[in-house]
Amino acid sequence: MSLNVLFCYDMVAKRKTGGFDHSARVGTFLDKIFSGLGLSRNLAGWKIVTKWPDIVGPKNAEHSRALRFSEDTLLVKVTDAVWRQELSLESDRILKEIHKEPGGKVVKKIHFVS
């Protein structure tokens, strides 16, 4: 991220509030910058990719790996057709777990490939 983007955001914040709020957290700034650039949905989806093992548990994570998030779909690689079928049958439950995560509602579908 360029310093120009951060500087512009800082100037907008000062203009709106009449001064800089020193108590604001860096994460809040980054969320606003990503949102302003249209990247917040992708960031939320990629966070789900990294949390995949925690979401599905160790047994399922041993046989699957989230590869990427694109638009509203999470792409998950599985070890074989048996695990693809097993996880496909559990996809509604897995989606409910994903939706419990911050930003997880950006994931609407899971596509399993072997």
For the chain, the structural domain boundaries read: 3-37, 41-113
pLDDT level of residue 11 (50, 70, 90 thresholds): very low
CB 98 within 8 A of CB 74: yes
CB 94 within 8 A of CB 110: yes
Residues 41, 76: Cα–Cα separation, whole Å: 18
For 41-113, CATH number? 3.30.300.180
pLDDT tens-digit profile of 63-111?
Answer: 999 999 998 999 999 999 999 999 999 999 999 999 999 989 999 999 9
Q: Could you identify the residue written with the tokens 């989606």?
A: 95
pTM equals: 0.67
Which tokens in the block code for residue 96?
């409910």
Q: Determine the Cα angle at 109 with ends 105 and 113, to 5°.
A: 135
